[in-house]
């Protein structure tokens, strides 16, 4: 197994130097932690990752994958060890306030922890991640009874939380959910009936209970999204202090290509008319509540993309530094007896590795940027609060999409470095390649994210969110110009911003004419263009910080190499990746209609 | 399972209409077949594909994957049925001349057959494909003894053929092969010793013998590639009319991510000093012989890429035509009770499907173009023969690379159409996604192909091959201009040709200055650019043929739709794919050095 799956130096650079954690911890809400505390919490997360997660990552994919037999779902026993460890470390309650026993950690730190753990073992992190998300919903909207019944058990890792959205006929379009809820005599208690699919961690043998956060329609509710309510539906309910089965049955498990260590199950609720759910918050507001979790969940998936790419990159880097093959092109043919060179010395291999590094570290920086907006939003008031909310909402689809779409390319490139070995179980690459493929699908596909970016966010509040975003980028462009040799890149990025604004105006023109379908037909390409430019922003920002350090800190040894590598990676990204916007802009500005107004029979 | 995995209409269009099979069959060498015979042979291949291959494709990936236990490799029993069926149909001897009992089929037809069978079950086709390749080497270079001993058995599907190139320390760089051959008292008979890895179909229980074509060094041979010889090394040798074990032992099987129905094994020859091999042709010419098969093998891998993409495309198209989800954007929000639309009606889904179609059919047409050059080469003399040899050699790396690299993207896009289902075993997509990933690795990685294109083929014979290629494209550009509404596309392609020529000149400039490493540093990007333009050529060519048909044949119904779809797909390719060359050209013309002349520590 590879020795390394992430770079702590880079993680701390991103967290402290680029995104300045101290800006967050100076606020009273986060005053219980400082940079030193952040590093300590991170270190304890790394201990869990190194000692519990990484050693079982491969086993959980092969001999101990999640398994459904005789009505029972069994998973690797390390899951209990893991979920108890993160529970004990206060990481399931990471976002909960101190007053309810939470850790009240900034989102930036949560992202860093998720990145480390996911890089070690991306299939296991969903268990705690879902408990965290589900408990947060109960904390935000639940009655005192629900909070008292569920929160401490979930925080401790004794009970598993889940999110039950998708039904066989309702995936991307939750509008069509048909699970039903019938009121009972007891206020807030309903009889639940329906099926849910793709329920991650929806049933397993490593916690004592599973608590589903379940979307359903109360009898007589309006059609569409405005009639969906959110319920707490435990697998076992407590009645008179006793555990009672709650008629939630697992009827199947999905045989997934990757992330096999964590089950995705098909559940049936209320088949015997004995399933009860407790309404969370108000009726018919379920989707609104769920979407309050969505930013967090989508940033989580972006993080999964980036951390899998990180694990793949470090595996490839290690292999490239150890594997001899061939001779350098400038000596080839000169001496047939010359020894082979390490493959890292081949320019094409170096290019692939630099691509992986540029995608991985660029993605992490973008994710951290989003997390920082979430933190600033949390501690701000008034206009500032609105600003950070808009920036976070605006960027979330990009944070979900770039690290996953580019992450798939990055992992594929890591696999390629291994040659035939990359296709075989001898190395972890084939697993990581399978694992990451889901990330552009779950929590809203790339197509859905792209509609959100172009169809909603760009025009949100009359374009205010977009304006704020462009101001953020311009601010960093200006900051970079204090370095003479970054000016060239600053100007390139400014021209790319102008390019994407031109494209945006062109497309929004269709929206203004009411041609919604045409406006959004190529939203996915728009997303690709937007994502590439957004990452260029993050690279310029990182390079500026590195340049500052090189100028002011007189770094030596590893530190010197690190900062120089940052500047080099920025140059690589601008040279190899950023030019891709050119072709995208050509298509997006071209008015030839090819996917709308054509008969389906054009596809034969 | 999907109902369709390829389009016979499109295959016949590509074979007969675009690449004009009658041009080939008019030559005496191929005069035993005509268009009708081609269609009949194709039909019998389709029968085998439909009845033997497709039904077991999924089983061979799961419950009956290739398996190594107690020293024995077992595979799905359908393998015997399949290899006997193709043997009986004369398809293992497809390229062998009639006089030795071969079928003497044109390469264009062989490609069509391989495409159909691979689309049905891409893991099984390697069995016969390797027997075909190995038997061809014996036919071309073997002594009468070797021909008499092996050919009929291999043609019949009784014995399996393989290619043994890679060793643990020698993969992309065969230069470093260390398997040894010691002369015995008998002329042409050697004692073989060594290990080979990734030997596809290298051992299994569905044929009576395995015949390895094995690269090794004769004792005292020169170092490097000039000291490698080719041997026939059977698993069981015939001695006094008896089968005797030949000390070739399988010591392991590779656990592959995909193509699990066909084993890749690790073999050890001569561990007990009892392994004999028979020299094929002359000593020290092994690599030259092997490379005579390489064009064929590389076109074969390109075909594998294209046919997997085809199977994925038709699965996705079927699903998109059946799966309701969401509402059209231009009606959304109007009626919450409106029924869901089929996902094919969403522009983004249609775009994905059109991308898959453009890649799949564009790839097939390019592969067929290469096969046609191979056929014309076979039947030509003198200058023409040289011309077609150069065109075939020139295009082969592109034929290997575009259909595999773009094929991976295409299959990923097909998977995306299925949403969460694409990631699960309920649909064949996750399997096809795994299967296709090897194609950019085996038979020379994309990096190796790219070096061949730019480093060898572009400058081959003082640029004659490149010049011939550009003439071929220009000829088709001119032909397309007879249609007023194709002129725009013809001009675009001409300008793209000029663009790639500009890039080529720029890069060759470094070669002229002796800066080989710099010349080739971004060869992979050059390949990408070159491939995109080459496929645009094939699309313009197809559109021209379709336009001719629309003008002159007054097609109706399905035929009308088919030809219109062709023109539409060309437009799609030119609008969505061709602009990608812009960004690539920017990088390739940019002289900033980022992957050479930098310390490896830049990667941290």
Other CB atoms closer than 10 Å to residue B29's CB: what's the count? Answer: 14
Give me the pLDDT at residue B334, please.
Answer: 63
Residue A335 has pLDDT above 80, yes or no: no
Least Cα separation, residue A346 to chain B (angstroms): 8
Q: What is the pLDDT of residues B236-288, one digit of tens each?
A: 998 988 999 999 999 999 999 999 999 999 999 999 999 999 999 999 999 99
Answer yes or no: do B254 and A346 touch at CB < 8 A. Answer: no
Residue B132 has pLDDT above 80, yes or no: yes
Catalytic positions of B, please?
A: 443
DSSP letter for each residue of A475-523:
HHHHHHTTSGGGHHHHHHHHHHHHHHHHHHHHHHHHHHTT-HHHHHTTH
User: B428 contacts in A (CB within 8 Å)?
Assistant: none
Q: What is the pLDDT of residues B478-501, one digit of tens each?
A: 999 999 999 999 999 999 999 999
Residue B349 has pLDDT above 80, yes or no: yes
Answer yes or no: do A357 and B603 touch at CB < 8 A. Answer: yes
User: A523 contacts in B (CB within 8 Å)?
Assistant: 348
Residue in B closest to A570 by C-alpha: B594
Please report how many Cα atoms fall inside a 13 Å half-sphere around the Cα of residue B304, on the Cβ side: 29
Cβ pair B123, B261 in contact under 8 A: yes
Give me the pLDDT at residue B295, please.
Answer: 83
Residue A333 has pLDDT above 70, yes or no: no
Answer yes or no: do B423 and A440 touch at CB < 8 A. Answer: no
Cβ pair A576, A590 in contact under 8 A: no
Q: What is the pLDDT of residues A466-519, one digit of tens each?
A: 999 999 999 999 999 999 999 999 999 999 999 999 999 999 999 999 999 999
Q: Which of A165, A348, A418, A427 to mutate to test the interface with B (most CBs of B within 10 A)?
A: A348
Least Cα separation, residue B314 to chain A (angstroms): 9
Answer yes or no: do B420 and A198 touch at CB < 8 A. Answer: yes
How large is the average pLDDT for residues B576-588?
98
Give the pLDDT band (50/70/90) at residue B458: very high
Give me the pLDDT at residue B1, please.
Answer: 75
DSSP SS3 for B10 = helix
* Residue bearing the bigger pLDDT, A499 or B2: A499
Least Cα separation, residue A269 to chain B (angstroms): 21
Give me the pLDDT at residue A337, please.
Answer: 79
Q: Are strands A264-269 and A248-253 parallel, antiparallel or unpaired?
A: antiparallel
**Contacts (Cβ under 8 Å, ≥6 apart) of B457:** B393, B394, B397, B465, B466
Give me the pLDDT at residue A146, please.
Answer: 97
User: A440 contacts in B (CB within 8 Å)?
Assistant: 416
Give me the pLDDT at residue A334, please.
Answer: 63
Cβ pair A249, A267 in contact under 8 A: yes
Answer yes or no: do A582 and B587 touch at CB < 8 A. Answer: no
Answer yes or no: do B419 and A441 touch at CB < 8 A. Answer: yes
Q: Tell me phi and psi for residue A199, to 5 degrees.
A: -85, 100
Q: What is the pLDDT of residues A539-565, one digit of tens each?
A: 999 999 999 999 999 999 999 999 999
Q: Which of A62, A426, A595, A599 to mutate to test the interface with B (most CBs of B within 10 A)?
A: A595
Tell whether A600 lies on the interface with B, counting CB pairs under 8 A.
Answer: yes
Q: What is the pLDDT of residues B511-537, one digit of tens each?
A: 999 999 999 999 999 999 999 999 999
Residue in B closest to A352 by C-alpha: B595
DSSP letter for each residue of B550-567:
HHHS---HHHHHHHHHHH
User: How many residues does this entry show for chain B?
Assistant: 604
Nearest by CB: B256 against A224, A424, A582: A424
Nearest by CB: A565 against B523, B592, B602: B602
Cβ pair B319, B427 in contact under 8 A: yes
Whole-number Å distance between alpha carbons of B569 and A166: 34
User: A455 contacts in B (CB within 8 Å)?
Assistant: 329
Whole-number Å distance between alpha carbons of A99 and A83: 22
Give me the pLDDT at residue B338, please.
Answer: 85
Least Cα separation, residue B99 to chain A (angstroms): 39
Whole-number Å distance between alpha carbons of A218 and A191: 9
What percentage of chain B carries pLDDT values higher than 70? 99
Residue whose C-alpha is closest to residue B260's, from B65, B63, B431: B65
Residue A250 has pLDDT above 80, yes or no: yes
Average pLDDT, chain A: 96
How large is the average pLDDT for residues B350-372?
98
**Contacts (Cβ under 8 Å, ≥6 apart) of B479:** B541, B544
Give me the pLDDT at residue B359, please.
Answer: 98
Residue B335 has pLDDT above 80, yes or no: no
Cβ pair A542, A584 in contact under 8 A: no
Answer yes or no: do A7 and B604 touch at CB < 8 A. Answer: yes
Q: How far is CA A297 from CA A125, A345, A396, B21, B328, in A?
A: 12, 40, 10, 56, 26
User: A583 contacts in B (CB within 8 Å)?
Assistant: 579-583
Nearest by CB: B517 against A347, A349, A521: A347
Give me the pLDDT at residue A38, please.
Answer: 98
How large is the average pLDDT for residues A218-246?
95
Answer yes or no: do B582 and A587 touch at CB < 8 A. Answer: no
Least Cα separation, residue B397 to chain A (angstroms): 16
Q: Which two tokens stand for residue B70?
A: 């107690």
Nearest by CB: A328 against B330, B347, B517: B517
Answer yes or no: do A521 and B351 touch at CB < 8 A. Answer: yes
Nearest by CB: A354 against B172, B523, B595: B595
Task: Provide the chain B residues 417-436 that lie in CB contact (below 8 A) with chain A.
Answer: 419-420, 422-426, 430, 433-434
Which residues is B250 bridged to in the sheet?
B267
Answer yes or no: do A9 and B328 touch at CB < 8 A. Answer: no
Give me the pLDDT at residue A352, please.
Answer: 98
Tell whether A555 lies on the interface with B, counting CB pairs under 8 A.
Answer: no
Answer yes or no: do B601 and A516 touch at CB < 8 A. Answer: no
Answer yes or no: do A419 and B441 touch at CB < 8 A. Answer: yes
Residue B590 has pLDDT above 90, yes or no: yes
Q: Which of B222, B339, B351 to mutate to test the interface with A (most CBs of A within 10 A)?
A: B351
Answer yes or no: do B583 and A587 touch at CB < 8 A. Answer: no
Task: Provide the chain A residues 376-395 that lie in CB contact (below 8 A) with chain B.
Answer: none
Q: Which of B225, B594, B599 to mutate to test the interface with A (most CBs of A within 10 A)?
A: B594
∠ at Cα B114 (B109, B115), nearest 5°?
95
Q: How far is CA B54 from CA A40, A155, B3, B5, B65, in A?
A: 56, 50, 10, 9, 15
Catalytic positions of A, please?
A: 443
Cβ pair B420, B468 in contact under 8 A: no
Q: Is the ipTM of this complex over 0.90?
A: yes
Residue B205 has pLDDT above 70, yes or no: yes
Cβ pair A251, A267 in contact under 8 A: yes
Which residues is A194 bridged to in the sheet?
A269
The distance in angstroms from the start CA to the end CA of chain A is 46
Answer yes or no: do A583 and B583 touch at CB < 8 A. Answer: yes
Give me the pLDDT at residue A553, please.
Answer: 96
Residue whose C-alpha is closest to residue A142's, from A282, A281, A278, A238: A281
Residue A9 has pLDDT above 80, yes or no: yes
Residue whose C-alpha is closest to residue B45's, from B3, B10, B6: B6
Q: How far is CA B214 from CA A7, A137, B164, B276, in A?
A: 44, 64, 5, 11
- Environment class of residue A43 by beta-carbon count within 10 Å: exposed (0-12), middle (13-18) or buried (19+)? exposed
Q: Which of B167, B583, B585, B588 to mutate to test the interface with A (most CBs of A within 10 A)?
A: B583
Tell whether A510 lies on the interface with B, counting CB pairs under 8 A.
Answer: no
Tell whether B291 lies on the interface with A, counting CB pairs under 8 A.
Answer: no
Residue in B closest to A405 by C-alpha: B412
Answer yes or no: do B350 and A596 touch at CB < 8 A. Answer: yes
User: B440 contacts in A (CB within 8 Å)?
Assistant: 416
Give me the pLDDT at residue A338, please.
Answer: 85
Tell whether B593 lies on the interface with A, counting CB pairs under 8 A.
Answer: no
Q: What is the pLDDT of residues B138-155, one digit of tens each?
A: 999 999 999 999 999 999
Q: Which two tokens stand for residue B387?
A: 């011309």
User: B171 contacts in A (CB within 8 Å)?
Assistant: 325, 419-420
Give me the pLDDT at residue B293, please.
Answer: 81
Q: How far is CA A440 from CA A446, B82, B415, B531, in A?
A: 6, 38, 11, 27
Nearest by CB: B424 against A254, A326, A420: A254
Tell whether A25 lies on the interface with B, counting CB pairs under 8 A.
Answer: no
């Amino acid at each position: 197994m590879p020795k390394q799956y992430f770079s702590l130096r880079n993680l701390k650079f991103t967290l402290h130097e680029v995104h300045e954690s101290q800006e967050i911890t100076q606020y009273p809400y986060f005053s219980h932690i400082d940079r030193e505390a952040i590093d300590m919490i991170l270190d304890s997360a790394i201990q869990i990752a190194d000692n519990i997660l990484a050693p079982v990552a491969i086993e959980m994919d092969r001999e101990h994958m999640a398994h459904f037999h005789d009505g029972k779902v069994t998973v690797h026993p390390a899951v209990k060890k893991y979920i108890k460890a993160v529970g004990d470390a206060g990481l399931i309650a990471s976002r909960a306030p101190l007053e309810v026993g939470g850790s009240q950690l900034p989102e930036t730190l949560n992202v860093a922890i998720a990145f480390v753990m996911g890089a070690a073992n991306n299939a296991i992190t969903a268990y705690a991640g879902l408990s965290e998300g589900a408990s947060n919903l109960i904390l935000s909207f639940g009655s005192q009874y629900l909070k008292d019944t569920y929160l401490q058990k979930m925080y401790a890792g004794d009970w598993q939380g889940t999110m039950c959205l998708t039904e066989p006929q309702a995936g991307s379009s939750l509008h069509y959910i048909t699970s039903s809820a019938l009121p009972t005599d007891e206020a807030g208690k309903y009889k639940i009936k329906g099926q849910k699919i793709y329920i991650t961690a929806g049933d397993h043998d490593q916690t004592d209970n599973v608590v589903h956060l379940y979307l359903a329609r109360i009898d007589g509710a309006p059609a569409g999204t405005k009639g969906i309510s959110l319920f707490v539906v435990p697998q076992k309910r407590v009645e008179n202090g006793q555990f009672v089965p709650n008629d939630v049955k697992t009827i199947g498990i999905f045989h997934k290509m990757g992330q096999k260590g964590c089950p995705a199950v098909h559940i049936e609720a209320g088949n015997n008319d004995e399933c009860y759910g407790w309404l969370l918050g108000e009726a018919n507001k379920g989707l609104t509540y769920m979407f309050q979790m969505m930013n967090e969940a989508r940033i989580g998936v972006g993080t999964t993309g980036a951390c899998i790419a990180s694990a793949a990159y470090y595996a490839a880097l290690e292999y490239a530094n150890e594997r001899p093959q061939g001779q350098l092109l400038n000596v080839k043919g000169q001496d047939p007896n010359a020894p082979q060179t390490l493959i890292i010395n081949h320019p094409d291999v170096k290019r692939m590795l630099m691509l992986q590094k540029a995608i991985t570290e660029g993605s992490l920086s973008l994710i951290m940027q989003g997390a920082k907006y979430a933190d600033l939003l949390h501690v701000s008031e008034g206009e500032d609060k609105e600003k950070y909310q808009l920036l976070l909402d605006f960027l979330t689809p990009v944070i979900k999409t770039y690290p996953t779409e580019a992450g798939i390319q990055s992992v594929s490139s890591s696999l390629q470095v291994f040659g035939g070995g990359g296709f075989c179980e001898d190395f972890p690459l084939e697993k990581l390649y399978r694992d990451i493929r889901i990330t552009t699908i779950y929590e809203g596909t790339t197509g859905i994210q792209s509609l959100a970016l172009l169809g909603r966010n760009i025009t949100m509040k009359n374009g205010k969110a977009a304006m704020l975003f462009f101001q953020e980028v311009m601010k960093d462009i200006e900051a970079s110009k204090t370095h003479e040799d970054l000016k060239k890149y600053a100007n390139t990025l400014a021209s790319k911003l102008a390019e994407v604004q031109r494209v945006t105006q062109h497309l929004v023109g269709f929206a203004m004419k009411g041609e919604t379908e045409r406006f959004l037909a190529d939203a996915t390409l728009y997303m690709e263009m937007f994502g590439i430019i957004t990452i260029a922003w993050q690279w310029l920002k990182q390079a500026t910080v590195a340049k500052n350090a090189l100028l002011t800190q007189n770094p030596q040894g590893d530190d010197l190499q690190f900062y120089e590598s940052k500047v080099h990676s920025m140059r690589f990204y601008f040279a190899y990746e950023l030019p891709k916007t050119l072709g995208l802009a050509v298509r997006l500005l071209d008015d030839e209609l090819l996917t709308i107004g054509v008969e389906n029979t054009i596809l034969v």
